[in-house]
A = this chain, B = another copy of it.
Amino acid sequence: EETLDSVMKSLKELLSYHDGRRSTMTKTLSCTSVKAMGTLSSCPSGMTVTGCSCGFACGSWNVQNENVCHCLCPVIDWTVARCCKLA
């Protein structure tokens, strides 16, 4: 039942997938920093927190919902979220 036409159809489908994959082949790790006043700083949509930096020398923080840095010291003036994604 397989004809040259059906083969070509599958082949074209594969080639169209391939174009989508080409972007995958060149994916790299892309990161940025987001600074905010106060104890919370959020990553842009689609990015996840890999680390946080806090004002007043504070090194205690946690991550909320995988995309928000929360600095935990009693006095904090600013919070930086380090945010990464594949791009």
List chain A positions with a Cβ less than 8 A from chain B.
Answer: 2-4, 7-8, 10-11, 14-15, 17-18, 20-21, 24-25, 27-33, 35, 48-63, 66, 73, 80, 82, 84-86
Number of copies of this chain that the complex holds: 3
Q: Give the distance in Å from the alpha carbon of A68 to the alpha carbon of B75 in the complex.
A: 27
Residues of B within 8 A of A21 (CB): 21, 24-25
* Closest chain B residue to A86, Cβ basis: B29
Residues of B within 8 A of A18 (CB): 14, 17
* Closest chain B residue to A64, Cβ basis: B33
Known contacts A15-B10, A18-B17, A25-B20; A57/B60 CB under 8 A = yes
Query: Are A53 and B57 in contact, with the CB atoms below 8 A?
Result: no
